[in-house]
Amino acid sequence: MVFWRSRSSELWVGAGAVLVGIYFLVPRGSAQSVIYDVIGIGSSFAIAYGAFVHRPSRRAPWLLFAAGNVCSAIADVIFNVLVDPPVPSVADWFYLSAYPLIAAGLLLLLFAAGGHRRLAALGDAAILTFAFMLVQWVFVLDRIVDGPGSTIERAVTAAYPVMDVILLAGFVGFFVSAAWRTPSFFMLVGSVALLLLADEVYGVGPTSYRSGDWIDAGWLLSYVLWAGAALHPSMRELSQPTRRPAGRHRISTSRIVLLTAALLTSPAVLLIQHLRGIAVSIPAVVAASAVISVVVVLRLLGILRALERIRARERSARADAEQAQRLLAAQNERLLEADRMKDEFVALISHDLRTPLTSIMGYVELALDDGLDEDLDSERRSYLEVVARSSQRLLRLVDDLLFVARLQSGRLELASTVLDLNELVLQTAQEARGRADAKDLELVVETDSAAVPVAADRGRIFQLLDNLVSNAIKFTPDGGRVEIKVSQDGQAVLEICDTGMGFEEDEAARVFERFYRTDSAVERQVPGTGLGLFIAHAITEAHRGRISAHPREGGGAVFRVELPLAESTA
């Protein structure tokens, strides 16, 4: 049962196509009539079955389709039983009843999906409908109205092309306004198109038609596709309100072709009738052309109004964007001014802190002088030593803040001379050895066998080396190892490796940011401001060099500094 529900549409269309083929293979007569009636009545019940099985939100349109197809099927049975019945007959009333029912179903689907709100699409549908009315009148209705037969006979005969116009109006409104592209939609469109095509072929030459002609294929396949559309699960989507997706606002090529053909209908009809030597009903052509022209003008007016609304929104959006840009520029200026004032404040405070701090350190040094400490016991001496160390730390922090403020204001000046990087590294390691011994660290220095000359500011390079070595010692636990290596490979290369806590790969690019501290440093509460590596990076770039960092295999970190060699040996 589940398989039948999911595949019922494909099975029905396949079986219907086979039956249509058999219809044309069997001889004309009762066998053909039976097959024709089976397809018509079976399709009608299949439409109703699909409406109840798939449970669309609106069943009424599909039940109207089923009723319309039932009326047509009953008319086919009567036509086959009576064999060329008179006009009018009971078959005519059933045939003519089918068209309004089908058109009403199409319009209900149009309203269910919200297509009636798309005024532009409805305008296009009106243009096509009036163009079709003109063709119907000139090539079909005019001949019937002025033809032989009684009034009632001509009225019934003329009702068929009129019903085709009604059906086309519902069909075009449904097709042009639809935003769906589902299998059920395509089968429904194909069914209505085949029905109209077969009716038009029959209307042009009704006297030449015989049961079993190829024109029957249009009506039979219309039955089959209509039932296939109702049996497909996507038929539920045709009853749901839809919105026009983004990107569907442009008029498609197919719609442009249809509208162009509709606009050219009047001159084409006049030309065809002139070539055939047949008089044309001028009032009909004028009326249809006038209506089409009015609708086209209204359509153009709607397009122009839409363009004006778009331009108004664009102007408003542009004005808002310009206002936002002005506000953003003003805010950026305020932020830059605040940042400048902040740097000046930091520089001022740091400078003012340095003077009393230097005084404190001087008096502490005097108090700890060996010739003046006869009255100091060991406890007081330890207090003063703590003050001395804390003052050194505070002085270093103040110097870092001053350096950052000077760097931010663009006042970093370098006094470059030719220096040997080996000598600077050895001196830095000598000064740091006491701190390394205090933590029982193995401090290893590997210098190049030859001199490594660099053109650099001696004080800043010492600051760079001290920051990197101090950083390695601070983040390496007791008993670890710190290595300092100097080499040259077209440039001076300095590498500092440690076995400390290190950092993650994704943190490597951020360790040189101002005030940045790694997650491991924060978690282990290692003291620091996050300025040391930032200063090292600034000094390296000021010397036209490059500094990088990456985690060390096995734990720890590796910092690599590359400086250009002095020009005398480059």
pLDDT value of position 497: 92
The angle, 0 to 180 degrees and rounded to 10, between the axes of the packed helices 119-136 and 151-177 is 150
Contact present, 302 and 119 (Cβ < 8 Å) = yes
Averaged pLDDT, 83-93: 71
Residue count of the chain, please give it.
570
Residue with the bigger pLDDT between 340 and 220: it is 220
Model confidence band, residue 531 (pLDDT cutoffs 50, 70, 90): confident
Is the pLDDT confidence value at 569 over 80? Answer: no
Model confidence band, residue 3 (pLDDT cutoffs 50, 70, 90): very low
Handedness of CA 534, 539, 542, 545 (dihedral sign): negative
| C-beta contacts of 504-513 below 8 A and 24+ residues apart | 504/551, 505/550, 505/551, 508/548, 508/549, 508/550, 508/551, 511/549, 512/536, 512/537, 512/547, 512/549
Distance CA 304, CA 286 (A): 26
Q: In this prediction, what percent of the chain has a pLDDT beyond 70?
A: 77
pLDDT tens profile 279-312: 767 777 777 778 777 777 777 777 778 788 888 8
- From residue 109, alpha-carbon distances to 52, 170, 172, 242 in Å are 16, 10, 12, 11
Model confidence band, residue 561 (pLDDT cutoffs 50, 70, 90): very high
Contact present, 61 and 94 (Cβ < 8 Å) = no
Distance CA 37, CA 34 (A): 5
Model confidence band, residue 249 (pLDDT cutoffs 50, 70, 90): very low
pLDDT tens profile 475-517: 888 889 999 999 988 889 999 999 888 888 878 778 888 777 7
* Choice among 192-201, 217-226, 403-412, 557-566 with the minimum mean pLDDT: 403-412
**Which residues have a Cβ under 8 Å from the Cβ of 390 and sit 6 or more positions away?**
none
Stated as kind and residue range, the H or E segment containing 254 is: helix 253-263
Contact present, 195 and 178 (Cβ < 8 Å) = no
pLDDT value of position 251: 56
Q: pTM to 2 decimals?
A: 0.51
Distance CA 448, CA 569 (A): 15
Tokens at 220, concatenated:
């039979």
Most confident of 246-250, 347-351, 370-374, 432-436: 432-436
Query: Up-side HSE of residue 339: CA atoms within 13 Å toward CB?
Result: 9
Residue with the bigger pLDDT between 1 and 265: it is 265
The angle, 0 to 180 degrees and rounded to 10, between the axes of the packed helices 458-475 and 421-438 is 30
Tokens at 376, concatenated:
């100091």
Contact present, 113 and 179 (Cβ < 8 Å) = yes
